[in-house]
Each structure stands twice: as structure tokens, then as C-alpha cells.
Amino acid sequence: METLKEHKDLLEVAEHFFDDGKLIQAISYATASLDLTISVAKGTIFDLKPNQDSSLEEFDGFIVQDEFGKQKVNVQISQELQRMQEILLCYALKIDYEKYFRYRSWVGYALITGDNTPDEKVKLSLEINNIEQDQARAALDYCQQLVQQIERKIEQFQTSFI
């Protein structure tokens, strides 16, 4: 559970950014915390861990064959399967998936750096110029509640197999 503690630390950093009026950074850190927590849940519940073969880390799609027998990458299939995986995870964790996907369509996903922080150069998919404090507060609250909910589910899942 040490990994989840690090993710919760990101929520504290998000609160500090919010208090300083840096709303985009606050949402970025909160979303990074959520994304990292979800990756722990995927690894714990579905046993989906990153591929250890570094040559496949850059792979972002499935190889399909067109009508002429030529192989090509189909990123759309990969994206659809990833969305299905997220829906299953929401179901397994008892997350309101409509609210979850509404948040994702508004905010997007964080690009996580090697030190488990969001890449400052990435601005997610937020409307940067029009973000308001109450929207940022709602995003932070949502991430905090969801991280806590997922953490409890992971603990339940882990203890049920001990």
C-alpha cells in the first residue's frame, strides 16, 4: 500500500496548488493521483501489469491485416479495448461510470513522468482559459473521493485472498 500513499501525497500537492490559485496544476496533480491509483487497481484486481519487454512499451495499437493482406497498426481497436477495460474496472470498483467518463471527457488523463508526477508541459484537455475555482474544487473533491473509494476496494480485494 506504499504506492497508494504516494498517490495520496499527490492529492496534498494538488490542494496546495489550489490554495495558491494554480487551478490547472491542482487538477493535473489530482488527476495524476487518480490515474496512478487506477493503475494500481488494474494491477491488483485484473492482474494487468505493464509489459516487461521494453520494445513493446512504445506500441500503441493492434496489428491488423487489411483487405490486401498488408499489416498495419489499428490504434482504434486498442482505444476501444482500453475503454472496455475501464468500464469493467468501474463496475468492479462500484464507480459511477457515467460520472467517471464525464470527468474524463472534461479533464482527460494525466501524462505521468518517471517520478509519478504529472508532466507540467501537458495541459490535459481542460479549457485552460475558462476554468473557474468551483470547477477546480469539484474536480479535486471528485478525485479525492474516488481515490479513497478505490483504495478501500483494493484493501478489501487483497484481504479476501489472504
DSSP secondary structure letter of residue 83? H
**Which residue intervals of 94-132 are DSSP H helices?**
97-107
156 or 32, greater pLDDT? 32
Q: In DSSP terms, which residues pair with 73 in a beta bridge? A: 63
More confident: 135 or 42: 135
Which grid coordinates belong to 142? Answer: 471528485
- Measured distance CA(35)–CA(110) in Å, rounded: 7
Asked if 118 and 28 touch (Cβ cutoff 8 Å), the reply is yes
Report which residue type is found at 127.
Answer: E
pLDDT for 96-127, tens place per residue?
989 998 888 888 887 777 777 777 665 666 65
Q: For residues 101, 64, 49 and 113, what is the CA-based torsion angle, rounded to 10 degrees?
A: -70
- Would you say residue 53 has pLDDT above 50? no
Question: Alpha-carbon distance 40 to 43, whole Å?
Answer: 5
92 pLDDT higher than 80? yes
Residue range 18-44: average pLDDT? 88
**Which pLDDT score is estimated for 127?**
52
Domain boundaries, the chain: 95-161
CB 53 within 8 A of CB 133: no
Measure the CA angle with vertex 140, ends 136 and 145; round to 5°: 150
Amino acid at 69: G
DSSP 121: T
